[in-house]
Amino acid sequence: MNMATPEIDAEPARGRLAALLAYRPQRSALLPSIGIAAGLLIAAAGVFHRAPPDRGTVPAGYAALVNQKGILTSDLIAQSVAELGKPFADVTSAERARVLHEMIDEELLVQRALVLDLPETTTEVREAMTGGVNAQVAAPLLAEQPTDEQLRAYYDAHRAKYTADGSMNVRDLVLHIGGYENADQSMAQARIDATEAVYQLRSGAAADYVMEHFGFSDSGRMKFGNEPDFAAKLHLGPTLYPAATRLTEGQVSDPVADTDGLHVLIMQQRRMPTIADFAAARSAVYADYREDVAKAAQRENVKILRGQAQIILAPGESE
C-alpha cells in the first residue's frame, strides 16, 4: 500500500483531528475486498443454514427410510426373530420382506398418529405413553436384583403386609330400643337389660333362652356363618367389628351401641390372623419390593418433570 503523510505540523489540535478524519490515503482495493467477502460470508453463515438432508439412499444400518425416518436393521432382525420364532439366520428373504412390509406399515401409522396429535386427543394413546415412560424410568432400577438383606429389611418394614387373614363365626344379638313391642323402654333400661343378658351368657345361659327372655333378636349381619376377617369387617360395620376382633373363641362382648340398638357378640369360632415368616413370604416381598422401587423412580421422574415445567393453574383451581 502507498501511504502518504498528512500535513498536520502547523495546524491547531482541532484542525489536525479534522484533517485526520478527512484523510484519504491511496490504497489498493485488496484489503477492503477481502473484508467485504469475509463479512458477507460471516453474515451468510448467520442468515442461512444448511438444508436438512433429503436422503435418497438408505444409510448403513437401516433397512428402510419412511418419510426420511429410518427403520433400523437391528429392529428388523429383532422383529423377525420375535414374530417368526426362529433365529434370524433361518429367516427366508420372503419372510424378511413381509416383516419389513409390516414394519413400514406400522411406521406410517405411527407418523399419521403423530400428525393427528393422538397423544393429545386419545385416552388409550396417552395411557400407553405414560405407561411407556414409567416403564422406561423404572427399567434401570429393576435391572438390579435386590439382595436378601434388602428384601429382609423391606419385609421387616412392611411386616403387616404379609399377614394371613383370620376368620370368625360370631353370633350378633341385637336389642332394639323404642320398637313397637317395647315403646316405653329407655336407653338406660335397655343397657341394664343387655348387661344382665351378658352376665347370664357369660354364666353359661343358652343364647336362645337369653334372646327370648330379654327380647334380643339375631341382627342378621353374620348370616353366612364362618367368614374371613375382611368379610366380617364389611358385614359387622365399623362399630361392631373392632369389638369382635378383641374376642377369643367362646367369649361374649359387652353391650355395644349401634344405630339399630344394643348389640351383644358371642364369638363361636375364631382363627386369629397370622404373620407369614420371611421365607414363606419371600416371593411376595420380592414383587412388592420391585413395585415400590418402580413407583419411587416414577415419583422421582415426575418430580423432576414438575421442576422443569411451567404449570399455571386457573384461579380457584388446586391440585
Partner 1 sequence: MRGVLLAALCLFACAAQGAPLPAGTANVSYTVWTVSGSSVLLKFLLPTSVAQSLTGAEVPVLTTRKLGDYILQHVEVEAAGRPCPAVDQGYDLGKVDPLAVGADMYGFEILFRCAGGTASGLVLHNHAVFALSPGHIDFARIERDGRAVEQLFTAGGQRLAVGVQMSPAPFGSYVRLGIMHLAFALDRLCFLLGSLLLVRGRRQAGYAFVALVAGYAASLLVAASGWVVPRPALLEAFMGFMVALLAALITLRELQRPRVASFGCPVLLAGLALVTALTHAHWAALALFGGAVFAGSLLLEASDGGRPSWLLPLGVVGFLDGFALPAALAPLNLPTRPQLWMTVGFDVGAVLLAALVMSVPLGVYAVMRTRVSRLNPRALVNELAAACLGGLGTFWLVSRLYA
Nearer residue to partner 1 within complex by CB, 39 or 87:
39
Q: Which three cell numbers stand for residue 174?
A: 341385637
| Rounded Cα–Cα distance for residues 110 and 153 (Å) | 45
Q: Return the residue of 78, 97, 108, 116 that touches partner 1, per CB under 8 A.
A: 116
Q: Give the three cell numbers for residue 285.
A: 416381598
Instruction: Report the C-alpha gap between 289 and 142 in whole angstroms.
Output: 10
* CA-to-CA separations, 15 to 4, 68, 292, in angstroms, rounded: 18, 68, 85
Strands 274-275 and 163-164: antiparallel
**d(C-alpha 62, C-alpha 197), whole Å:** 86
The answer to whether residue 111 forms part of the interface with partner 1 (CB under 8 A) is no
Applying CB under 8 A, what is the total number of residues that bind partner 1?
Answer: 36
Q: Least distance (Å) from partner 1 to the CB of residue 316?
A: 21
Which pairing describes strands 167-175 and 227-228: parallel, antiparallel, or unpaired?
antiparallel
Task: Write the binding mask 127 to 156 for partner 1: x where contact by CB under 8 A, - elsewhere.
Answer: ------------------------------
Select 27 or 223, whichever has its Cβ closest to partner 1.
27
Going residue by residue from 4 to 23, which x/- string records binding to partner 1, judged by CB under 8 A?
--------------x-xxxx
Taking the C-alpha atoms of residue 32 and residue 27, their distance in angstroms, rounded to an integer, is: 10
Nearest approach, Cβ of residue 177 and partner 1 (Å): 56
Q: How far is the CB of 62 from partner 1 (least distance, A)?
A: 21
Nearer to partner 1 by Cβ, of 4 and 205: the residue is 4
CB of 226 to partner 1, least distance (A): 52
Cα–Cα distance measured from residue 194 to residue 114, given in angstroms and rounded to the nearest whole number: 72
Q: Rule CB under 8 A: which of 29-48 touch partner 1?
A: 29, 31-36, 38-48
Q: Are strands 167-175 and 217-218 parallel, antiparallel or unpaired?
A: antiparallel
Q: Which of residues 47-76 bind partner 1 (CB under 8 A)?
A: 47-51, 54
Estimate the crossing angle of helix 207-214 against helix 187-202, to 10 degrees.
Answer: 160
The number of CA neighbours under 13 Å toward the Cβ of 192 is 5
Interface with partner 1, residue 296, by CB under 8 A: no
What does the binding site for partner 1 look like in residue numbers (CB under 8 A)?
18, 20-24, 27, 29, 31-36, 38-51, 54, 114-117, 120-122
